[in-house]
Copies of this chain bind each other. A is one copy, B any other.
Amino acid sequence: MMNEVKYCNACGAQVEYRVPAGDHLPRHICPRCDNIQYFNPRVIVGCIPEWEDGRILMCRRNIEPRLGLWTFPAGFMELGETSGQGAARESMEESQADVEVGELLAMINVPYVSQLYVVHRGRMRTPHHGPTPESSETRLMTESEIPWDEIAFPTVLHSLRFFYADRAEGVARIHTLDLSSKPRRPRDREVSEGDPLPGQPVE
């Protein structure tokens, strides 16, 4: 959980919150060492891991938010990796699955939590999968087994719909979507999996 930004992380002095010269938005500026702390949207990377029989790998969340609801493997992109590398890493961390990450399936803007959701297609190299600290249960599912009423996030729901719509047509498109307003029902709200970002509305 990130608290309000009050100090310079380079020298420890108290920061000022104002628009730097030549900039257009207020930033956290250090009056002592001139360090500026920038906060930008985060990228969530994920994939839909498919086994050779067409079933896909779903994970039941073992952590808040959305504890107990279902998702495919996804999480924050880390420094130094591509979106595909991040999706493969998250698959291993969340489901023990060894996934060959493929082409982009969907890029979804979620501006109300300052996230960009990047979902790839994926092929499981082996049928192995299993629970992890982040997933209480992992399961290979046919389309009719997907628990549509127990999906953790709208981004996951839309990505699954894109995936199955393409499959029904026998195509592999790249989909884009802007989720421009916060859903009313609390359980449909997209929320950050980590700390809120300064300047973001936090409920």
Contact = CB atoms under 8 A, between A and B. Distances in A.
Q: How large is the interface on A (under 10, 10 to 19, 20 to 34, 35 or more residues)?
A: 35 or more
Contacts of A33: 3
A40 B38 contact: no
A4 B10 contact: yes
How many copies of this chain does one complex carry? 2
Overall SS of chain A's interface: loop
A69 interface: no
Nearest to A114: B79
A10 B180 CA distance: 30
What 8 A-B pairs come out closest when comparing CB atoms? A82-B109, A3-B10, A7-B12, A174-B174, A9-B9, A79-B114, A5-B9, A82-B178
Interface of A: 1-12, 14-15, 22, 24-25, 28, 33-43, 76-85, 93, 103-104, 107, 109, 111-112, 114, 116, 118, 133, 174, 176, 178, 180, 194-195, 197, 199-200
